[in-house]
Amino acid sequence: MKPTWILILLLAAALLLAVSMPQAGANKENSVNAPVYTADGSLKLPANYREWVYLSSGLDMSYSPNAMNMDHSMFDNVFANPEAYKEFLENGTWPDKTMLVLEGRKAGTKVSINKNGHFQTGEVMGLEVHVKDEARFPAGKWAFFNVEDGVTGKLLPKEMDCYSCHEQHGAVDTTFVQFYPTLLEIAKKKSTLSRAYLKEEAGK
Task: Work out which of 10, 16, 151, 165 binds ligand HEC, going by CB under 6 A.
Answer: 165
Q: Tell me which stretch binds ligand HEC (CB under 6 A): 15-23, 66-74, 175-183, 186-194.
A: 175-183
Indicate whether 162 belongs to the interface with ligand HEC (CB under 6 A).
yes
CB of residue 72 vs ligand HEC: minimum separation in angstroms? 17
Single out the residue of 94, 116, 110 nearest to residue 173, CA to CA.
94
CB of residue 180 vs ligand HEC: minimum separation in angstroms? 7
Q: Tell me which stretch binds ligand HEC (CB under 6 A): 30-38, 45-53, 113-121, 173-181.
A: 173-181
Indicate whether 179 belongs to the interface with ligand HEC (CB under 6 A).
yes
> Where does residue 145 rank: exposed (0-12), middle (13-18), buried (19+ CB within 10 A)?
buried
Report the alpha-carbon distance of residue 177 to residue 109 in Å, rounded: 29
Single out the residue of 105, 151, 97 nearest to residue 125, CA to CA.
105
Report the alpha-carbon distance of residue 107 to residue 75 in Å, rounded: 6
Q: Tell me which stretch binds ligand HEC (CB under 6 A): 5-13, 25-33, 56-64, 132-140.
A: 56-64
Contact indicator for 80, 129 with CB cutoff of 8 Å: no
Single out the residue of 61, 64, 57, 97 nearest to residue 79, CA to CA.
57
CB of residue 68 vs ligand HEC: minimum separation in angstroms? 15
Task: Work out which of 19, 31, 63, 66 binds ligand HEC, going by CB under 6 A.
Answer: 63
Show the binding pattern over residues 70-109: x = contacts ligand HEC (CB under 6 A), - = does not. ------x-x---------------------x-x-------
Q: In sequence order, what are the residues at sequence separation of 6 or more whose Cβ sits closer than 8 angstroms to the Cβ of residue 114? A: 108
Binding stretches for ligand HEC (CB under 6 A): 56, 58, 61, 63, 76, 78, 100, 102, 128-130, 144, 146, 156, 160-162, 165-166, 175-176, 179
